[in-house]
Amino acid sequence: MDRLLITGGRRLSGEVELSGAKNAALPLMAACLLSKEPLTLTHVPHLADVASLVGLLAHLGVSVHMDGQGVRGHTGHRLMLNAATISSHEAPYELVRKMRASVLVLGPLVAHHGEAIVSLPGGCAIGTRPIDLHLMALEAMGAEIELKEGYIHARRPGKRLKGADIHFDKVSVGATENALMAASLADGTTRLRNAAREPEITDLANCLNAMGARISGIGSDCLVIEGVENLHKAEHVVLPDRIELGSFIVAAGITGGEALIHGGSLELLGSVADKLRAANMTLQEEENALHVKADSPIRSVDVDTHPYPEFATDMQAQFMTLMCLADGVSTIRETIFENRFMHVPELTRMGANIKLNGNIALIQGVEKLSAANVMATDLRASMSLILAALAAEGETPIHRVYHLDRGYERIEEKLGKLGADIRRAN
C-alpha cells in the first residue's frame, strides 16, 4: 500500500494549474446515459473515482474512449462517451461499493432507458449519507421504486417520466443532480425547490442545456426544467476543481508562501475566500488565475460548514490544519456530516491542540507542528495531513493515501512544482 513521505519546513512558491473538478466530472459522465449521441468531455481529471465510473459505464454498454489531449487551452484528458447501445441496466455492488457517485446513473437510466438496478452506494466513511431524497424525487416523477437485497430497483411505467414540483427537505447535491438529469427527459415541467447551488450543479445544467435540455434558474435554489423528448451530442469543458484550489491556497498559507493558481477564481470558492482572507491570506484575481500570498501571522477564524455558497464541508479539514498554526483560538462547526473529524487524532499526533465537543472543534493555535507517522481516513483528511506535513519539522510518513488518489490528480507533481519535498513510496 502506498504512502507519502513529506519533509516539511519549505516555503512553497511558484505556479500550478488546477485539474478539472471530480465532483463535476462524475455527474457529467453519467449524463451521457440521457442520449444516444456522443458526449465529449474535456479537462477530465485522471482519478480513481473517474476510472471507477468509466468501468461502470463500460459495464452498462457505454462506448468509452479517453485520451490526454486538451482542447481550447485546457489541459487534462478528453473523454468521449457514447451510450447509443446499452447492454445492461444494472450497476452491481462490486462496481458501486467504492464510490458513492455511482448512484448518479440511477436517474438517467430510469428516464431514458426505462429501468435501473443500482446497488446502494459506498464511498468515504465520513457519516450517513442517505439516498432517500434521490428516490423521493424520482417517485415524484412517476418512477416505481423497490429496495431489496441491497439494491435499488427502479422502473418507469410509461414512455416518459412526468414533470413534478419537488421540494427537498434538505440541500443535497447528489439528489439535485439525479433529479435534474431525470427531469430533462420528463413529460412536462419540473421544479426543483431548495436545490443545491454548487458550481458543479451549474456545470451540469450548462452541459445538459448544450445537449438540448431546457433548464432555467441555473445558479439559484429553484431549478425549472422543461422536459424534452431527446438530447443530442455535445462537447463540454469540466470546470476547475474548487476544493483543489482551496487546498493549494492553504498550502501557500501554512508555509508562508505564495502561488499563482491557473484556473482559479474567487467565484469558485464562495465564502471560503472570505475565511481565507480573514486568516491573513491575500487573494488577487488575474487573467484566468488566482494569485495567493500568505501574510504573517495566520489569524484564527471561526467557521461553520454549510452548502454552497457558504463554507464547503470539503474544505473543513484543510482549513482546520491552517488554524492549527493560527495566532489564537478558533472553532469549526461541522453541520453536514456527523463523522468528519477523523483527521483530528492524526493532527494531534503532530502536535496540534484540538478539542472536540460533538460537531464542534476548538483549535488552539500552536507555534509549530512536528513530524509523525499518520494515517489518512478519507479523501479530504488525506489532504489535511499533507498540509500539516508541509509545515511540520522533519519527515512525515502518511499512510493509506489511496483515498487521496480518488480526488487529487498528480498531487506530488503539483506540490513539487511549488517546491515541496514530497515523494511516494510503497
Q: Give catalytic residues, as residue numbers.
A: 124
Judged on CB neighbours under 10 Å (0-12, 13-18, 19+), 382 is buried
The Cα 249–Cα 203 span in angstroms is: 23
Using alpha carbons only, what angle is made at residue 31 by residues 28 and 35, rounded to the nearest 5 degrees? Answer: 140
How far lies 154's CA from each of 46, 109, 136, in Å? 31, 9, 12
**DSSP reduced 3-state for 217:** coil
Looking only at the bridges linking them, the beta strands covering 90-91 and 63-67 are unpaired
d(CA 276, CA 247): 11
Residue with cell 466513511: 125
DSSP 241: -
**Which CA distances in Å does 45 have to 50, 69, 94, 280, 387?**
7, 12, 23, 31, 21
Quote helix, strand, coil % in the chain, to nearest 5.
35, 30, 40
SS3 17: strand
CA distances from 144 to 155, 174, 186, 214, 420 (A): 5, 19, 15, 25, 53
Contact 165, 193 (CB under 8 A): yes
Phi, psi of 301 (to 5 degrees): -140, 135
Residue with cell 484556473: 263
247, 387 contact by CB (below 8 A): yes
Distance CA 402, CA 116 (A): 30
